[in-house]
Amino acid sequence: MSTFSIFLVLITIVCFLLIVVIMVQNPKGGGLSSTISGTQMLGGVQKTTDFLDKSTWTLATILIVLIMLSSLSFTGSLSDTESKIIEKTEAAPVNTPAPAAPAQQTPAPATPAAK
């Protein structure tokens, strides 16, 4: 499993947890904190709201850090800068034989005429 895949799994888990924490909150004060009747449960209503607020910011920060780190671990094998089509057209075909060089013929030495 590559490093990018590990980051992808971690990002997915953090996103799921962030969705759950946000859905529990109610901007009008009627979320999880309004269903708790006793002040002793989870440290009281005010502490529950503080916990949900801090966990939202913490998960959002973790998500941003994971996204930044995953971009560093991405090798870029799918990027457009390294096109395989361009490399194939620029490279010489492998199966074509090289043109044969003409044989160099040296002229025969001239023999002087007999007298």
Task: Say which residues have a Cβ less than 8 Å from residue 24's Cβ, sequence separation at least 6.
Answer: 31, 32, 52
The answer to whether the beta carbons of residues 8 and 73 sit under 8 Å apart is no
- Position 12 scores a pLDDT of 95
Whether 50 maps to a domain, the answer reads yes
Task: Say which residues have a Cβ less than 8 Å from residue 69's Cβ, sequence separation at least 6.
Answer: 7
Residue-wise pLDDT tens digits, 54-92 = 999 999 999 999 999 988 887 655 554 555 566 666 665
Whether 83 maps to a domain, the answer reads no
d(CA 29, CA 45): 10
Whether 105 maps to a domain, the answer reads no
Does the predicted model carry a pTM greater than 0.75?
Answer: no
Whether 91 maps to a domain, the answer reads no
**Range(s) of the domain holding residue 57:** 1-33+45-71
How many domains in the chain? 1
Whether 101 maps to a domain, the answer reads no
Whether 59 maps to a domain, the answer reads yes
Whether 86 maps to a domain, the answer reads no
